[in-house]
Amino acid sequence: MTNLDDELIELRREIHHRPELAGEERETAGLVAQQLRAAGLEVTTGVGGHGIVAVLDGSADGPTVAYRADMDAVDTNANVLPFPRPDRVFDEGFASRVPGVAHLCGHDLHTAIGVGVARALATGAEPVRGRLVFVFQPAEEPLQGARAMLESGVVQKLAPREFYALHCSPFPCGTIGVSPGYGLPGMDHVRIVLPGGDDVAAAFTAEVSALGTVAFPQSIAEYNARFRALMEPETAASIQESVCVAHWTEREPDGQLVVNVLLRVWPQQRFAQLRAQVEQLAAAAGGQIQFPGDPFPAMVNSAELSTAAGRYLSGALGSQSVLWAGASWPFNCEDFALFLDEAPGAQFYLGVANAESGMNGAPHTPDFAADERAIGFGVRAMAGLLTERLAARSGGR
Ligand SMILES: [Zn+2]
């Protein structure tokens, strides 16, 4: 533990204490901007909402590599897995003071780590051979912030050659997962306007649900088992190929029944076939099908850069610290997908669980809790990786 680690834990607790929903990250962004400016970075605020882009120029000319963190908290009334409510509290003294809003996806840790990486590298203790761009994005949960930031053009102007990020996971604190060539699924939203009553909707949703090959986990044991399975080569591929279907029914003001279906599938190319299957079911039920937009893209980790990162991290942190996953968690989309469309790179799974103390590290569960030592670990992992990538790209090794 260093002084910086302690200060970052303080920062995380401050953000945890006053969580802000997507699009409302004013105070969080303010804290981030303040710390980055104090560290000497060139900071642009208000990018695509409360987004921040900060530039750190190293001691030598060289390529540009980017790092992203997300800042928004979770709406606990809408976006939490239906597990039993927690009977333990791990954030006593800094628990959310905002009813219905909490950092249950670990973005408070992501933000603290991003600030920590920037601060650690701004000291010049490690050679930075080129330029690092730090992106702090708003509105990750509704998958809107990345697009809004990219629409401003600020990130593209800096032309990063590689992009990295991490996400909290139920792997043990002190580990980091890489999944070369894999990533998180894209998502398609389909609306079906149905004739008839609730019985027609019930029959239709049963048929649509049958397209799914996997259900959301129903318990923390199931959740953890699926994460562990990512590292079993025999089952990993089938996990990655799962089709995940969610749906809800609403009634329009004119009384029309509308079934909304969310489809998550990997890889992106399978959406065309899935759409055709839903269309067929809708036609058979006499329904009208609508696609409010194109599918949200899958997040694809570069096989080459993930592998290189995994090897570097094994060398720097010890091979026991790196978990090689043959797939990714197939139930969530990730806004980082859009940054990876700008430049290749990878998102890693940062282990934040501590089984002994009961911290589950499982994002979007009602009792998400993280071992804060993961913050310092994440900072060292990412600071090392980013300087290594600059050196590698400038032909330094
Ligand atoms: Zn998240």
**How far apart, in whole angstroms, are the C-alpha atoms of residue 88 and residue 75?**
20
The residue-averaged pLDDT of 273-287 equals 95
Could you tell me the distance, in angstroms and rounded to a whole number, from the CA of residue 108 to the centre of ligand 1?
10
Q: What is the pLDDT of residue 396?
A: 54
Looking at the structure, do residues 24 and 162 belong to the same domain, yes or no?
yes
The residue-averaged pLDDT of 69-92 equals 90
Number of Cα atoms under 13 Å in the Cβ half of residue 365: 27
**Each residue of 191-216: pLDDT tens digit?**
999 998 889 899 999 999 999 988 88
Could you tell me the distance, in angstroms and rounded to a whole number, from the CA of residue 237 to the centre of ligand 1?
23
Residue 121 · residue 128 · CB < 8 Å: yes
Looking at the structure, do residues 332 and 319 belong to the same domain, yes or no?
yes
Does position 397 have pLDDT exceeding 80, yes or no? no
Q: What is the pLDDT of residue 104?
A: 96
Long-range contacts of 269-276 (CB under 8 A, 24+ apart): 270/243, 271/186, 271/188, 271/295, 274/188, 274/211, 274/243, 275/188, 275/190
What's the chain's average pLDDT?
A: 94
% of residues, the chain, pLDDT over 70:
99
Could you tell me the distance, in angstroms and rounded to a whole number, from the CA of residue 195 to the centre of ligand 1?
37
Residue 222 CB partners (closer than 8 Å, separation 6+): none
Residue 257: alpha-carbon gap to chain centroid:
33
Looking at the structure, do residues 228 and 314 belong to the same domain, yes or no?
no
Looking at the structure, do residues 317 and 383 belong to the same domain, yes or no?
yes
Q: What is the pLDDT of residue 1?
A: 58
Looking at the structure, do residues 97 and 165 belong to the same domain, yes or no?
yes
Burial of 21 (0-12, 13-18, 19+ CB in 10 A): middle
What 8-state DSSP symbol labels residue 267?
Answer: S
CATH number at residue 356: 3.40.630.10
Looking at the structure, do residues 250 and 324 belong to the same domain, yes or no?
no
CATH number at residue 227: 3.30.70
Could you tell me the distance, in angstroms and rounded to a whole number, from the CA of residue 339 to the centre of ligand 1?
15
Could you tell me the distance, in angstroms and rounded to a whole number, from the CA of residue 395 to the centre of ligand 1?
34
Domain boundary among 256, 290, 324: 290
Could you tell me the distance, in angstroms and rounded to a whole number, from the CA of residue 333 to the centre of ligand 1?
9
Could you tell me the distance, in angstroms and rounded to a whole number, from the CA of residue 107 to the centre of ligand 1?
6
Could you tell me the distance, in angstroms and rounded to a whole number, from the CA of residue 397 to the centre of ligand 1?
34
Could you tell me the distance, in angstroms and rounded to a whole number, from the CA of residue 232 to the centre of ligand 1?
24
Q: What is the pLDDT of residue 331?
A: 74
- Domain with 29, as residue range(s), is 3-182+298-393
What is the reported pTM?
0.95
Q: What is the pLDDT of residue 58?
A: 95
- The count of structural domains within the chain is 2
Looking at the structure, do residues 306 and 158 belong to the same domain, yes or no?
yes
Domain boundary among 272, 290, 308: 290
Could you tell me the distance, in angstroms and rounded to a whole number, from the CA of residue 378 to the centre of ligand 1?
16
Q: Which residues pair with 338 in a beta bridge?
A: none
Could you tell me the distance, in angstroms and rounded to a whole number, from the CA of residue 103 to the centre of ligand 1?
9
Domain boundary among 255, 290, 325: 290
Range in 58-62, 229-233, 349-353 the model is least confident about = 229-233
**How far apart, in whole angstroms, are the C-alpha atoms of residue 267 and residue 240?**
8
Could you tell me the distance, in angstroms and rounded to a whole number, from the CA of residue 124 to the centre of ligand 1?
30
User: How is 106-144 classified by DSSP, letter by letter?
Assistant: SHHHHHHHHHHHHHHHHTTSS--EEEEEEEEES-TTTT-
Looking at the structure, do residues 31 and 164 belong to the same domain, yes or no?
yes
Looking at the structure, do residues 51 and 157 belong to the same domain, yes or no?
yes
Residue 10 CB partners (closer than 8 Å, separation 6+): none
Looking at the structure, do residues 263 and 304 belong to the same domain, yes or no?
no
Looking at the structure, do residues 9 and 132 belong to the same domain, yes or no?
yes
pLDDT band at 273 (very low <50, low <70, confident <90, very high): very high
Residue 236 · residue 229 · CB < 8 Å: yes
Looking at the structure, do residues 62 and 172 belong to the same domain, yes or no?
yes
**Each residue of 160-190: pLDDT tens digit?**
999 999 999 999 999 999 999 999 999 999 9
Could you tell me the distance, in angstroms and rounded to a whole number, from the CA of residue 141 to the centre of ligand 1?
7
Backbone angles phi, psi at 274, to 5 degrees: -65, -40
Range in 17-26, 261-270, 300-309 the model is least confident about = 261-270
**Each residue of 111-167: pLDDT tens digit?**
999 999 999 999 999 999 999 999 999 999 999 999 999 999 999 999 999 999 999
